[in-house]
Amino acid sequence: MSEHENKSAGEVHHELHSHLPPEPALRVKAMESLLVEKGMLDTDTVDAWIEVYAEKVGPKSGARIVAKAWVDPAFREQLLENGTQAVKELDDAGWAVAHLKVIENTPHLHNLVVCTLCSCYPHAILGPPPNWYKMAAYRSRAVRDPRGVLDEFGVRLADDIELLVWDSTSELRYLVLPERPGGTEGWDEEKLASIVTRNSMIGTQRDLSLDEGAS
């Protein structure tokens, strides 16, 4: 007797469909297959764009910027003085970055980034914004109750830590430079970049875990 004979039709249906990708992914795959079949899309081009968004147009670029600032005092100073110019000089992250201001977290200061009007965001170094960044609830509450918002992200600031909220616009984007964690002395830039998260560069995360970089 097969395994499926002991299960109801509903259970079998659920089990089979649990192995399928979500519906949006299926629609995208179907559209991609159709375009390839009609000769309107090349699979190598798709793979190249996926690699660009995964490796270049994403948080990894921002993480490399942060890591370099942690180990290179001259670059850090330039980054805080003129973020746009400093980032433009980096071959792998300098394209499509304009009007960038870098704000630094310290033991006594925490920075939080929001866009109250829409979802302005430094795509070139952080990739597409997360869904919650675009939601009206975050955009309004980050200004009205920033400590409450951070608390929901698991960030509980002591009363003596100043909190600044920065409102992005189409003409000015922000990048948070998080504090370098203790215990990372002697780490190279690649290892340091591995512990930098997207949320830490938005300000919805403060303390970075060493687990990933230490592995």
Residues 193, 195: Cα–Cα separation, whole Å? 5
Amino acid letter, residue 212: E
Tell me 4's DSSP state: G
Q: State the catalytic residue, choosing from 2, 18, 33, 119.
A: 119
Ramachandran quadrant class, 4 (left: phi over 0; alpha: psi -120 to 50; beta: rest)? alpha
Q: State the catalytic residue, choosing from 118, 140, 170, 209.
A: 118
200 catalytic per annotation: no
Q: Which two structure tokens, joined as six digits, stand for 187?
A: 């780490």
Q: State the catalytic residue, choosing from 120, 168, 194, 200.
A: 120
Q: Which two structure tokens, joined as six digits, stand for 159?
A: 């009363």
Amino acid letter, residue 128: P
Q: State the catalytic residue, choosing from 8, 18, 115, 140.
A: 115
209 catalytic per annotation: no
Q: Are 197 and 209 in contact (CB under 8 A)?
A: no
Active site residues: 115, 118-120
